[in-house]
Structure 1
Amino acid sequence: MRNKFLGTGESGYHPLHKIRTVLSGLRYAVFYDFSVAYKLALSLVVLAVAFGLREWVDFMLVMLVTGLVLVAELSNSAIEALCDFVEERHNEKIKVIKDIAAAGVGITILLWAVV
């Protein structure tokens, strides 16, 4: 796909390419990152219970917050992977970056528990 800011890549817009990219990233995260896999499994259980209660407004809130947790965890995983790519050895600055990303996940999990 062409990058309009850098002027590089192929020209044209391919929506199927975007969908393939999303599915590829999700598949990698689920199969190679335990944190994402178990949060996804737990999310499916929570959503099934919420759906079974048939309180649709509550179900929508649970679904919204569940999506937020998964987005936070995927973002955290991406940040950790990037940090590991940039610096393989222990680095205090990288540790701070990873800790902040993990704190974001922790806050969303607390919000999830409240809802």
Structure 2
Amino acid sequence: MPNQFRTPGYHPLRKLKVILSGLYVAVVTDFSVAYKVILSVPILGISFFFRQWIDVSIILLAMAIMLISELFNSAIEVLCDFVEPQQNDRIRVTKDIAAAAAGLSILVWAAILAIETIRLWQFP
């Protein structure tokens, strides 16, 4: 199947490999992504164990939003550093805005994780 450049070679499994490679690089090289995954997975597992499906859905949604914004933030920072290795006020503003978006999603994620942890702690 031709891609956007009209050359053959698109395959869904190859796309999945690229996605998993990007996630692996983000988790292994970026501590800010890794520790959030490490904190989310146990709470998600406990919710799944107690069959609290709405809680599982809420945690998954919060985790996905947080990871997406964190991945975009990391990608923007890497791109900005590549385009302008020197200090630049415009680049700084761009990085600050990306960090603010990631920060807001982290606040929502942390609040949801705290609420769900308290709810699960009181479940039995």
TM-score in same-fold range (> 0.5) = yes
1:73 partnered with 2:70:
yes
TM-score (norm 1): 0.85
Q: Deviations over 1:40-68 (max 9, x none)?
A: 21221332243344321122111111111
Instruction: Give me the TM-score of the superposition, normalised by structure 2.
Output: 0.79
Structure 1, gaps ≥5 residues long: none
Give the SS at the match of 1:89: coil
- Cα distance per residue 1:12-58 (max 9 Å; x no partner): 42111101100111111111111111122122133224334432112
Structure 2 residues without counterparts, runs of 5 or longer: 113-124
1:61 aligns with 2:48: no
> Is the aligned partner of 1:47 residue 2:44?
yes
**Greater relative CO (CA pairs within 8 A, separation 6+):** 2
Whole-Å separation in 2 of the counterparts to 1:114 and 1:28: 27
Contact 2:3 2:10 in 1 (8 A): no
Please list every run of at least 4 consecutive aligned residues from structure 1 whose deviation after the TM superposition is greater than 6 angstroms. Answer: none
Counterpart of 2:110 (choices 85, 91, 113) is 113
2:16 alignment partner in structure 1: 19
Residue 107 (structure 1) shift: 0.8
